Chains A and B, each alone.
Chain A
Amino acid sequence: MSEKNLPLVEVNHISKRYPVLANSGDRLSALFDMLRGRAPTRHTTVLSDINFKLMPGCSIGIIGENGAGKSTLLKLITRVLTPSEGEVITRGAIGALLELGAGFHPEYSGRENVRLSAALYGIGDAELKEKMLEIEQFADIGRYMDEPTKHYSSGMIVRLGFAIIAAVRPPLLITDEVLGVGDESFQKKCSRWIDDYVSSGGTLLLVSHSMYHVQKLCREAIWLHQGKVEMHGDVYNVTQSYLAWHESRQTQTSHVETRRASDYEFGIESVICNGLDASAELVFPARGDFGIEAVLTSKDGTPPTMMCGWVRVDGTPVYGISSEMEKITARELGDGRYSFRLVFPQLALLPGTYNLRVHSLDTAGLRLFQTWQCDVKISGESRAFGLMQMPHRWE
């Protein structure tokens, strides 16, 4: 097999456990475990049995919620961490942009930090002499090159870090969502560089929460969930399953609402939509007048603010307003109860399922207390795209 067909990275059944260091005795026992060549007795597992191959030119995106082990996995591949079990085999240099300014010493100048980073990438003195100018030009931070990096803005740190990678041009680049920091023009420069890098045979291993980026740059994706591979395969399949999982989880959590209006300083006593006390899904024809009557409560006698919003099922906000924004005062019903009536004439939402939310806030509209919600299915037929019917005409 030629060099080209060998995987750049082979991750063979790796697990990573961190020792638990709750009390001072744990460190002592960990020291003895280490001397005897055993694994520490008390530990938490952050990654278990991860297994994949990364072929040249076949970029992989890694997705997953916070704490799923994505960054730990990248650190294992770049050999910053050592796996507790299994092995990582890598071929060729790996460029890593894992954290903002990782490996930069704040007291040293940009140039000095570049020298150490470059040496760690295996660039010797003679080669660095040629590349230093290239790095300076790419980073484009002018006289800051000779200032301590503690005086840098976060954008400048990213510029310098990226400039080193661009000069080294490793066959594999591992990044952990740090490129979003630079300004517009530098981001363009970076994405141009990455596009060029990928199209000329470079390979990416990318952690990102932006499904757009992952789909654009990668062919495969790995979904990590609680330290295990939940799904691995074609980028579109994996990202869609991941998003669907997120949606379902969000709706699950938000339905748990057991507290009553009187538990809150500003609560929601009742919400009636079009004369119906909506508890399950409400069906409503498109382009009808949608009326909401809400009774809110206030413990200290100051009038509450009502906020009302439409949200798509996946959580994308469609439209939201509050009584405070529009200087509306509630009708007082006495006993700390206040009523609001809000009408959306000829509701412009396109057919589909939406989530209607009503919130109670304090008088100034700053603190949010209770949330009421229900699913509203807008019935009807429309071939238009998007969320809302926008007034338009053809001329």
Chain B
Amino acid sequence: MKPAYRSVFRELLRRELGERYRGSFLGVLWHLLLPLSQLLVLSWVFSHLLQARTQFENLSYAAFLALGLWPWNLFANAVSNSVAALTGSAALIGKIALPHHLLVDAKVSASVLLDLAGFAVVLVVLVLLGSPLKPSGLPVVLLSLVVLCIFALGFANIIAVLNVFLRDVGAAISQILSLLFFLTPVIYDSGQLPSEIQRWLNLNPFAAPIIAIRHAFLGLPVDWRHLCVSGMVALIIAYLGYALLRRARPHLEDYL
């Protein structure tokens, strides 16, 4: 018996999306309001309170931060949401035959879709407010986002499986993600760092797509070598994730 994979996936995705604002008054409007209010807070704190500056001319610090923060959140939210992709569906997994990877896929897809929508809203507002974003950078931006998504999917599978065996993973992952956040040039530009440290920073595979997104939007040259390496690493992680899920599949029900 083959399940209708597409229908199952769509149904799971619909549930994930619906879950977010179930029972809230504003519902879908939150998708619009949340990114806008976040952007408002950021620009007030950094541009008015702290008077932070960037080395890029014409670019406010809030805009600089937004260009890094949303792509990073796209990755980080997808990973941290997926912690419970399997453990949270114990009621389904233990009762009916279900392709397990669809649970993780749906979790990641829902998270990514919402953050992409948020990013789009933020970009539109930034352009309206006069930030000098170049539309010619969009292809590179999309490519970089795809790399981040592949990373997210790979780590999501690994973490969802590990969390079935050891619930400690859920607690640890939020700490690891916040450490990675500071090791990735999101709130700062890698150009501000001493060159010694910059070399080390390049080992961080998440740095390349984030830097590429910013540079592409500002019309600056993109470091293709690092972006390619990052993409390769992402594919390897994704492969490992699926391999781990395949190996763990027969045992998952026993530990849920």
Contacts and interface: CB of A to CB of B under 8 A. Distances in A.
A6 to B, nearest CB: 15
B8 A93 contact: no
Interface stretch (B114-122, B146-154, B186-194, B245-253): B245-253
A76 to B, nearest CB: 11
Given A28-B166, A31-B162, A34-B248, A123 B253 contact: no
A99 B3 contact: no
Contacts of A119: 3-4, 7-8, 11
Contact of A82 (B2, B91, B249): B249
A300 to B, nearest CB: 50
A98 interface: yes
Interface stretch (B32-40, B94-102, B174-182): B94-102
Interface string A16-40: 0011010000011011001101001
Contact of B247 (A35, A40, A105, A108): A35
A384 interface: no
Interface in B86-134: 91-98
Contacts of A116: 8, 11-12, 15
A102 interface: yes
A75 B3 CA distance: 17
A27 B4 CA distance: 34
A284 to B, nearest CB: 54
Contacts of B2: 122
A386 to B, nearest CB: 44
B30 to A, nearest CB: 19
A115 interface: yes
A122 B165 contact: no
A80 B165 contact: no
B53 interface: no
Interface in B1-34: 1-4, 6-8, 11-12, 14-15, 22
Contact of B95 (A28, A80, A94, A170): A80
Most B CB atoms within 10 A — which of A34, A94, A124? A34
Contacts of A112: 11, 14-15
A19 B253 CA distance: 11
B14 to A, nearest CB: 8
B165 A34 contact: yes
B188 to A, nearest CB: 37
Interface in B150-165: 162, 165
A92 B1 CA distance: 5
Contacts of A151: none
Contacts of B14: 112
A115 B7 contact: yes
Contacts of B96: 78, 80, 96, 102-103, 117, 120
A359 to B, nearest CB: 42
B97 A80 contact: yes
B97 A78 contact: yes
Contacts of A99: 95
A124 B7 contact: yes
B107 to A, nearest CB: 15
A234 interface: no
A288 to B, nearest CB: 58
A120 B3 contact: yes
A27 B87 CA distance: 14
Given A82-B249, A93-B1, A119-B8, A27 B166 contact: yes
Interface residues of A, number: 42
Contacts of A93: 1
A122 to B, nearest CB: 5
B1 A90 contact: yes
Contacts of B57: none
A369 interface: no
A107 B91 CA distance: 13
Contacts of A333: none
B254 interface: yes
Contact of B4 (A19, A34, A79, A123): A123
Nearest to A83: B250
A18 B162 CA distance: 18
B200 interface: no
A108 B15 contact: yes
A189 B2 CA distance: 29
Contact of B1 (A105, A107, A121, A125): A121
B131 to A, nearest CB: 41
A115 B11 contact: yes
A27 B255 contact: yes
Contacts of B162: 31
Contacts of B250: 82
Given A19-B254, A80-B97, A92-B1, 10 more contacts: A28-B166, A80-B96, A80-B253, A82-B250, A93-B1, A103-B96, A107-B22, A118-B7, A119-B3, A122-B4
Interface of A: 18-19, 21, 27-28, 30-31, 34-35, 37, 40, 78-82, 90, 92-94, 96, 98-99, 102-103, 105, 107-108, 112, 115-125, 128, 170
The 6 A-B pairs at the shortest CB distance, nearest first, are namely: A82-B250, A119-B7, A102-B95, A103-B96, A31-B165, A79-B97
Interface of B: 1-4, 6-8, 11-12, 14-15, 22, 91-98, 162, 165-166, 247-251, 253-255
